[in-house]
Amino acid sequence: MRLEVDNWTLRCLCSHYRIWEKIDAGILEPIWKRQSAIRPDGSSTFEFYYAYRGSKELVVRLQWAEDSEGNILGSGMKDPKNLYLKEHHGDYHAHPGDTEHERRKREPELRFNSVRSRKVYGFWRRCVKCPLVGPIEAYRLRFSLWLRQTLFLKIA
């Protein structure tokens, strides 16, 4: 089941299911890598697809940009672009699109005008909400889609 969520929910799902620790421990290994051409400023974009060791079934796709010295640019983190949780039958993706409305769905902090407000929102999602509540948006979305499918099947 394809579920579209915002970037913060994807990050929270990765933290909640310990994706970073599984990559560091070698439980998840890269099955495909891609690097963009090096830009004039020396930076480059990387994209890695990870699967469980010995499997070719995608678990997570990460993307990030690095400068010429290997420092991660932007948020300073490797951003998940999609996450497949087999136990949920959930295929989580960031909201697609490039219109202003679609970007705000994907990056909710853009609704704030000041940089300080955006940083406070990021702190709230990363350090308070995710550790205390977990990826509740993803669970609500999955449940509502399941409920709609179940009701539709009973009506049809």
pLDDT tens across 14-58, in order?
Answer: 999 999 999 999 999 999 999 999 899 889 999 999 999 988 888
152 has a pLDDT exceeding 80: no
How many separate domains does the chain show? 1
Domain encompassing residue 120 = 2-155
The two structure tokens encoding residue 84 = 């497949």
Cα-to-chain-centroid distance, residue 57: 17
Q: What is the pTM of this model?
A: 0.82
The two structure tokens encoding residue 116 = 């300080």
> Across all residues in the chain, what is the average pLDDT?
88
The more confident residue out of 74 and 39 is 39
